[in-house]
C-alpha cells in the first residue's frame, strides 16, 4: 500500500464488479420485491393480516423498527466516537459503517409507516401547527422518537456526505462513464485547495462531536418508548443504557456481516485487515458483556422488587409460551460471543462471520422477546392467552427490509468509495511522521 496506489485500489470498487456482486444484488432485489408485495397486500386488506390481536398490538414491525435503528448505531460509534478517541484503525471501516448507518435508519423509518393502519396519513405524526386542528402530545415518547430519529438521520447523512466530498472529487477525476456528471455536481466544486482542506477538517471534527451524543440519545429515546409505561418487563431504569449497548452490539455484528463479503468481492484485503476485524470483535465482546450484565440485573431486580407482576413476567419470559425465543436469544447474545475471548477465533474471519450472524439473530429476537412477551403478560390475567404469532405477511415484510438494506448497501459501495481515500492517506502520513522508534529508552 502506498500513497500512489490508494486512489486506484479504492476507486476500483466503482468499476464493473464481478458476477458475485450481481448475484448478491439480484438476491436482495428479490427479497425486496417480496416485501413490497406483502406490504401492498396488507395496505389493501387491513392490519388483520399482520396477526395483531389484543393485547399484542405491537409485534414484528416494532421489533424491526428497533432492530434497524439499533443497527445504525455502530456506524456512528465507529465514525464519530472512535474519531474523537483518535483510534486510527477506524479509518478502514468507517465509510462502510457510516453508509450502513444511513441506510439502516432509512429502513427503520419505514416501519412506523408500515405499522400504522392508514399509512397514507403517516405525515400526521409530524409535529407542526396545522389546519386540521391536530396537535401533538409532547409527553408521548413516540413524538420524542420522531425528533430523535429525524435528527439522527439528518446528522448522519450530512456527516457521511461531508466525509465523502474529497473522495467524490477523486472519483470525478477518475471515472469516465455517465456517473462523472453526478460526481461533478455532488463534489460541489471541490478542488482540494489549502483553504478547502482546512474548512473540511474543522467541520469534520465538529460533526464528530455533534454525532457522538446522538449515538447515546437515539436509542435511549427508543428504549423510553417502552420504559415510560409501567408494563412489567418494560418499565426499567436500566433500559436506556442497555438499549444503547445492545444497539452498538448488533450494529457491530452487522458491520462484520457486511465487511467480510465486501472485502472479498472488491479485493480490499490489504486495506481491511484481520487487525481491523479483531478490533471490531473486541468491541462486540465488550458490548455483549454489557448486554449480559443488563439481562442479569433485570432478572435480579424483577425478583428483588418483590412485585408479583414483575416476577411473573420474567418467569414467563423464561418458561412461558415464548421460552424458545428467549433461550435462543440468550445463547446468541450471551453465550456465543464469549468465544471472542479467544484470539484464535477473533482473528478467524470465517468464525467471526458466523458469530456475527448469530448476534444478528439474537438481537432481533431480543427486541421480539421484550415486546411480545411483556405485552402478552400484563396486569390482567385474562390477557395472558399469548395468542400472537407472526404471520407470513410480517415475515415477508421483514425479509423485504433486509432486501432493501442490502440493495441500498450494495448500490452504495458500487457507486461511492467504500473506504475513505482521504483518511487512509492521512493515517499513513501520521504513522510515517510519528516514528515511535526514534525516542530513546527513558532510563
Partner 1 sequence: MIAVGTPVVSDDTRRLYVGAGVVGAAAFLYGVFLGDSIRAWQSLLVNFLFFGGLAQAGVVLSAMMQVTSSRWGRALKRTAEATSAFLPVSFVLLLVLLAGVSDWAPWVHAPVEAKQAWLNIPFFVTRQILGCLLLGGISLAYVYRSVRPDIGLLDQSGEHAATGFARHLIAGWRGIDEERETAQRSQGRLAPAVLIAYAWVFTLVAFDFFMSLDPHWFSSLAGGYYFIGNLFAGFAFLAVTAVWARERLQLTTYIGPHQLHDVGKLLFGFCILWAYMFWSQYLVIWFGDLPEETEFIAHRMHGAWAPLAWTVFAMVFVIPFVVLLSRAVKTSPRGLTAIACVGLVGMWLERFILVSPSLWHGDGVPLGVVELLVTVGVLGLFAWCFTTFLQTFPVLPLSDPRLEPASAHPDAHDVHTE
Give min distance, CB of 224 to partner 1, in A: 7
Return the residue of 7, 107, 187, 236 that touches partner 1, per CB under 8 A. Answer: 236
According to the binding rule CB under 8 A, does residue 182 interact with partner 1? Answer: no
CA distance linking residue 115 with residue 110, whole number of Å = 9
Q: Which stretch binds partner 1 (CB under 8 A): 49-57, 92-100, 224-232, 345-353?
A: 224-232
According to the binding rule CB under 8 A, does residue 47 interact with partner 1? Answer: no
Half-sphere exposure of 136 (CA within 13 A, CB side): 18
The gap from C-alpha 201 to its chain's centroid, in whole angstroms, comes to: 26
Give min distance, CB of 340 to partner 1, in A: 11
Q: Toward partner 1, which CB reaches closer, 385 or 431?
A: 431
Give min distance, CB of 306 to partner 1, in A: 4
| Class of residue 320 by CB neighbours under 10 A (exposed 0-12, middle 13-18, buried 19+) | middle
CA distance linking residue 203 with residue 197, whole number of Å = 10
In the window 67-86, what residues touch partner 1 (CB under 8 A)? 85-86
User: Which ranges in 13-81 belong to alpha helices (H)?
Assistant: 19-45, 60-76
Return the residue of 106, 297, 345, 428 that touches partner 1, per CB under 8 A. Answer: 297
According to the binding rule CB under 8 A, does residue 158 interact with partner 1? Answer: no
Q: Which stretch binds partner 1 (CB under 8 A): 21-29, 238-246, 251-259, 417-425?
A: 238-246
Q: Toward partner 1, which CB reaches closer, 188 or 201?
A: 201
- Cα angle 107, 109, 111 (rounded to 5 degrees) comes to 85
Neighbours of 309 (CB within 10 A): 16
Q: Toward partner 1, which CB reaches closer, 281 or 294?
A: 294
Return the residue of 289, 354, 357, 411 that touches partner 1, per CB under 8 A. Answer: 289
Give min distance, CB of 359 to partner 1, in A: 19
Gyration radius from the chain CA atoms: 23
Return the residue of 63, 101, 187, 220 that touches partner 1, per CB under 8 A. Answer: 220
- Looking at residue 224, the DSSP 8-state letter turns out to be H
Beta bridge partners of 53: 56
Identify the CA nearest to 9 among candidates 267, 274, 183.
267
According to the binding rule CB under 8 A, does residue 320 interact with partner 1? Answer: no
CA distance linking residue 411 with residue 409, whole number of Å = 5
| Cβ(105)–Cβ(69) below 8 Å | yes
The gap from C-alpha 55 to its chain's centroid, in whole angstroms, comes to: 29
User: What is the per-residue binding string for partner 1 in 200-219, x denoting contact by CB under 8 A?
Assistant: -xx-xx-------x--x---
The total number of residues written for the chain in this structure:
443
Please name the residues in contact with 16: beta carbons below 8 A apart, sequence gap of 6 or more: none
Q: Which stretch binds partner 1 (CB under 8 A): 39-47, 109-117, 290-298, 321-329?
A: 290-298
According to the binding rule CB under 8 A, does residue 314 interact with partner 1? Answer: no
In the window 239-258, what residues touch partner 1 (CB under 8 A)? 239-241
Q: Toward partner 1, which CB reaches closer, 85 or 392?
A: 85
CA distance linking residue 263 with residue 70, whole number of Å = 23
Q: Toward partner 1, which CB reaches closer, 228 or 351?
A: 228
Return the residue of 306, 350, 380, 381 that touches partner 1, per CB under 8 A. Answer: 306
CA distance linking residue 180 with residue 326, whole number of Å = 51
Give min distance, CB of 388 to partner 1, in A: 25
Residues lying near partner 1 in the complex (CB under 8 A) are found at 85-87, 201-202, 204-205, 213, 216, 220, 224, 227-230, 235-241, 289, 293-294, 297-298, 301, 304-306, 426, 430, 433-434, 436, 439, 442-443
Amino acid at each position: 500500500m502506498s500513497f500512489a496506489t490508494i486512489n486506484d485500489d479504492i476507486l476500483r470498487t466503482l468499476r464493473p464488479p464481478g458476477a458475485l456482486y450481481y448475484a448478491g444484488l439480484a438476491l436482495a432485489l428479490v427479497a425486496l420485491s417480496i416485501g413490497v408485495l406483502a406490504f401492498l397486500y396488507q395496505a389493501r386488506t387491513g392490519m388483520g393480516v399482520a396477526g395483531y390481536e389484543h393485547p399484542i398490538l405491537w409485534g414484528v414491525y416494532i421489533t424491526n423498527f428497533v432492530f434497524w435503528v439499533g443497527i445504525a448505531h455502530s456506524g456512528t460509534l465507529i465514525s464519530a466516537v472512535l474519531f474523537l478517541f483518535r483510534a486510527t484503525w477506524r479509518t478502514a471501516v468507517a465509510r462502510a459503517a457510516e453508509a450502513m448507518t444511513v441506510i439502516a435508519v432509512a429502513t427503520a423509518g419505514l416501519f412506523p409507516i408500515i405499522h400504522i393502519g392508514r399509512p397514507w396519513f403517516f405525515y400526521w405524526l409530524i409535529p407542526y401547527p396545522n389546519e386540521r386542528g391536530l396537535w401533538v402530545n409532547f409527553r408521548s415518547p413516540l413524538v420524542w422518537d420522531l425528533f430523535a430519529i429525524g435528527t439522527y438521520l439528518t446528522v448522519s447523512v450530512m456527516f457521511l456526505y461531508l466525509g465523502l466530498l474529497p473522495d467524490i472529487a477523486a472519483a470525478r477525476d477518475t471515472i469516465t462513464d455517465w456517473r462523472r456528471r453526478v460526481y461533478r455536481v455532488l463534489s460541489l466544486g471541490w478542488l482540494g485547495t489549502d483553504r478547502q482542506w482546512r474548512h473540511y477538517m474543522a467541520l469534520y471534527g465538529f460533526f464528530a462531536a455533534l454525532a457522538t451524543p446522538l449515538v447515546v440519545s437515539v436509542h435511549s429515546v427508543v428504549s423510553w418508548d417502552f420504559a415510560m409505561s409501567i408494563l412489567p418487563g418494560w418499565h426499567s431504569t436500566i433500559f436506556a443504557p442497555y438499549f444503547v449497548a445492545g444497539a452498538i452490539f448488533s450494529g457491530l455484528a452487522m458491520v462484520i456481516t457486511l465487511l467480510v463479503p465486501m472485502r472479498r468481492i472488491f479485493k480490499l484485503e490489504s486495506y481491511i485487515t484481520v487487525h481491523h476485524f479483531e478490533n471490531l470483535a473486541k468491541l462486540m465482546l465488550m458490548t455483549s458483556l454489557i448486554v449480559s450484565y443488563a439481562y442479569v440485573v433485570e432478572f435480579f431486580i424483577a425478583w428483588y422488587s418483590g412485585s408479583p407482576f414483575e416476577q411473573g413476567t420474567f418467569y414467563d419470559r423464561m418458561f412461558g409460551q415464548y421460552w424458545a425465543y428467549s433461550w435462543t436469544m440468550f445463547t446468541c447474545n450471551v453465550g456465543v460471543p464469549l468465544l471472542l475471548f479467544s484470539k484464535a477465533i477473533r482473528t478467524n474471519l470465517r468464525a467471526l462471520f458466523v458469530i456475527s450472524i448469530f448476534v444478528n439473530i439474537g438481537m432481533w429476537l431480543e427486541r421480539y422477546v421484550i415486546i411480545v412477551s411483556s405485552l402478552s403478560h400484563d396486569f390482567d390475567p385474562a390477557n395472558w392467552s399469548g395468542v400472537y404469532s407472526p404471520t407470513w405477511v410480517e415475515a415477508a415484510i421483514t425479509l423485504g427490509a433486509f432486501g432493501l438494506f442490502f440493495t441500498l448497501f450494495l448500490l452504495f459501495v458500487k457507486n461511492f468509495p467504500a473506504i475513505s481515500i482521504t483518511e487512509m492517506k492521512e493515517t499513513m502520513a501520521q504513522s510515517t511522521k510519528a516514528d515511535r522508534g526514534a525516542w530513546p529508552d527513558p532510563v
